[in-house]
Structure 1
Amino acid sequence: MSRKRSTDEGDELLARLGSLTAQARRRAEFQRTQVELAIALQRGMLPRDLPAAPGLHLAVRYAPANIGLNVGGDWYDAFCLPDGRIGLSIGDVQGHNIEAAAFMGQVRAGLRALASVTGEPGELLACTNDLLLSLGGDLFATCTFMRLDPATGVLESARAGHIPFVWATADGKSGVVDDEGGPPLGIERDVAYPVTRHRLTTGGVFVLVTDGVVEGPSLDMEDGLDQVVRLAGIAAVAGLEARALAAAVIKGAESVGHEDDAAVLVVGLDGPSTAPRRGRAEPAVTG
């Protein structure tokens, strides 16, 4: 083989490698842009403010999964209903891409819009389910919706395939709510979602989470929920603020491997600070 032919082949190989490198960089830049856009969508769709009522304490934390392309569609929400009660929701959209983040916005907006017609949790989830099916998408979402009367502490909840929430009382009792749920939103038509009534007692807390908080490579869901139960129990007995509990729960999500979004919504009544204040929802966006 001549020296010239060897040089030409080497130049051709270098040119090919250069072309492949440039393609890889373009793909990486496109993927990075998609991730950044999805995270921006998530942050833009999460509520800036939380409702306020005498004795009511709400706190949220949210950590997007930004390992590789694992950007999902978890959300939390809290808003005033027409009758003066408060609507609370938390959920998780199937998938980890920009489509999941956009679908999350549709679900959250649908819940808010339909809540002006009916705030009854079971009916609201059923209507939202029908709405999503009418849009003809391929994605689905799990969700818990609650209607809370802060004056009485009475809370009604319904679940659509979502993780059950955790409760704790100031006298040292705590556990995972044992209620009946329905299928995720966007899968089956004409679904009924059972409603369960609870009472939030003075000093008590309810903790709602998404699966990124309690399930991952390092921890199964049962152990993850037990971890949240322990934290909630300690917080209720010690009289810790709702935001301190939310921060502790999202911190605990690190032990599960945290390859998925992680969202936490804490609801407390008559905590250590009794003066209600309306402010920004300290997001809780970390990570």
Structure 2
Amino acid sequence: MTDASTRRLRRRVREVCAAAGVPVEQRARLVLAATLLAERGPEPALSAATAVGRLSVTLETFRPVGQGERNALPLLPAAGDGTSLTWHLDAGAEPAPATAADDEAATRDEMLALVARADTIAKDQRELKHELAETNSGVLAMYVELEERDEQLQKAHAVIFRELEDALRPPPPKADAFELAVHYAPSQQDSPTGGDLYDWFVLPDGNLHITLVDAVGHGVTSTRHALTVTHAIRTLALEGHPFRDLIAQAARTLATIEPDLMATVLLARLDPATGDATFANGSHPRPVLATRGETELLFAAKAGRGIGFPDPGSHSLIHRTLTDGDLIVIYTDGLVESRKDFLEGEARLLAATRRHAGRPTAEIPDLLATEMLDVVLHTDDTVVIAVRYVAP
């Protein structure tokens, strides 16, 4: 199934859900379930029927879907094992607000709705645990059962959020003259979300833009903050704001919306025609540039301040002109802090990049992560992005 077909299916699911007033968190899970089914075969045929207070959505998948596969979907359909899958959802009295027309924007809205729902569930669970802790020993058995159910719920949420995070991590864009590859690993395998996210896209003038964000904190709140930053910078960049001002402008824009948000930010702007590369840094680890025979860390020790920090923005820009085969490595601090010594980590990364710079670009992020994280005394989310210039 093509990307266009997948987007068309998601748009149709959103339209029928919005028309019936289906809550956004149910709609988000149904969109993800339909996407997963569409990736495994031809585009499913969709039909919908509305009754009082209920919406029934049916997908014909052109292949049998067994009960085991149905149980693994983010939103459980009716029991069965044939080609027809039906979901019954709560419908509202009034249509829901219209969804964003852009597929990526609609996906982001759904992700944020699920994050908010997860925050509410987590708060309710904490309050319930507190109430149970104050009761007498006669409810101990109930408390133990709640703990088991809580663990099951966390694992289920982890699966859903990991899939949603994967959906929100954009695949490498088609950027002329640049080979792109990425490695992502959460700090804990059962951790549903993290604050390390990236965004990359081609601007109308043909230049490649890359944003790498590390939001302070853990869990769904840091994910929401990281999403907010990447979306704000993408919007400002596409509106044509100067590259030098993007971090500071995003900080000013978000100061009243998310006053508790703190994040380090690294921006790269790459010209495929000339190889010109420009970097802006807000409190983020320094990029590595590997040329023939040389490897260097870009930026001085204090290059700028991140979003939520005093005096945010990149205090200076770094410019380089790439030649054929030059390699750029950008990353989050989890890559160099695993041994609790940042400077030692930077030195090891320079050496590792020098050794692996000649390998295929697609292999480099995983090779660097494997070598750098051989000893882990401090766990953190890790993103590694490799960009190689192939001169036209």
Q: What TM-score range do you get, normalising by the shorter chain?
A: 0.7 to 0.9
Match for residue 244 of structure 1? Answer: 363
**Is the CA contact (8 Å cut-off) linking 1:51 and 1:78 kept in structure 2?**
no
2:284 alignment partner, SS class = coil
Alpha-carbon deviations, 1:123-142, whole Å to 9, x = none? 11111111221313412111
Alpha-carbon deviation of 1:169? 0.9
Cα separation, 2, equivalents of 1:97 and 1:155: 33
Match for residue 299 of structure 2? Answer: 178
**Is the CA contact (8 Å cut-off) linking 1:123 and 1:193 kept in structure 2?**
no
Match for residue 240 of structure 2? Answer: 118
**Residue ranges of structure 2 left out of the alignment (5+ in a row):** 1-135
**Is the CA contact (8 Å cut-off) linking 2:298 and 2:318 kept in structure 1?**
no
Match for residue 136 of structure 1? Answer: 258
Mapped pair 1:64 → 2:186: yes
Alpha-carbon deviation of 1:22? 1.4
Alpha-carbon deviation of 1:120? 3.6
Alpha-carbon deviation of 1:67? 5.0
* Stretch of structure 1 that moved more, 251-260 or 199-208: 251-260
Distance 1:256 1:163, change over 3 A: farther
Amino acid in structure 1 at the alignment position of 2:364: L
Amino acid in structure 2 at the alignment position of 1:251: T
**Is the CA contact (8 Å cut-off) linking 1:87 and 1:119 kept in structure 2?**
no
Distance 1:122 1:240, change over 3 A: same
**Residue ranges of structure 1 left out of the alignment (5+ in a row):** 1-11, 275-287
Cα separation, 2, equivalents of 1:32 and 1:82: 41
Distance 1:66 1:231, change over 3 A: same
Cα separation, 1, equivalents of 2:219 and 2:342: 23
Q: Could you tell me which of 351, 356, 381 is aligned with 1:261?
A: 381
Match for residue 220 of structure 1? Answer: 341
* Stretch of structure 1 that moved more, 68-77 or 151-160: 68-77
1:206 alignment partner, SS class = strand
Mapped pair 1:88 → 2:210: yes
Match for residue 227 of structure 2? Answer: 105
Alpha-carbon deviation of 1:144? 0.4
Match for residue 165 of structure 1? Answer: 287
Q: Could you tell me which of 49, 58, 69 is aligned with 2:172?
A: 49
Alpha-carbon deviations, 1:43-93, whole Å to 9, x = none? 222102323203x21111111222565842101222111221110121201
Match for residue 152 of structure 1? Answer: 274
Amino acid in structure 2 at the alignment position of 1:265: I
Aligned residues with identical type, % of pairs: 27
**Is the CA contact (8 Å cut-off) linking 1:67 and 1:259 kept in structure 2?**
no
Amino acid in structure 2 at the alignment position of 1:252: E
Alpha-carbon deviation of 1:259? 1.8
**Is the CA contact (8 Å cut-off) linking 1:129 and 1:189 kept in structure 2?**
no
Match for residue 143 of structure 2? Answer: 20
Cα separation, 2, equivalents of 1:120 and 1:225: 30
Cα separation, 1, equivalents of 2:278 and 2:249: 17
Q: Could you tell me which of 230, 235, 243 is aligned with 2:351?
A: 230
Amino acid in structure 2 at the alignment position of 1:46: R
Amino acid in structure 1 at the alignment position of 2:383: A
Greater relative contact order (Cα 8 A, min sep 6): structure 1 or 2? 1
1:157 alignment partner, SS class = strand
Aligned length: 255
* Stretch of structure 1 that moved more, 116-125 or 201-210: 116-125
1:208 alignment partner, SS class = strand
Amino acid in structure 1 at the alignment position of 2:235: A
2:175 alignment partner, SS class = coil
Cα separation, 1, equivalents of 2:224 and 2:258: 14
Cα separation, 1, equivalents of 2:303 and 2:239: 22
Cα separation, 2, equivalents of 1:253 and 1:166: 14
Match for residue 202 of structure 1? Answer: 324
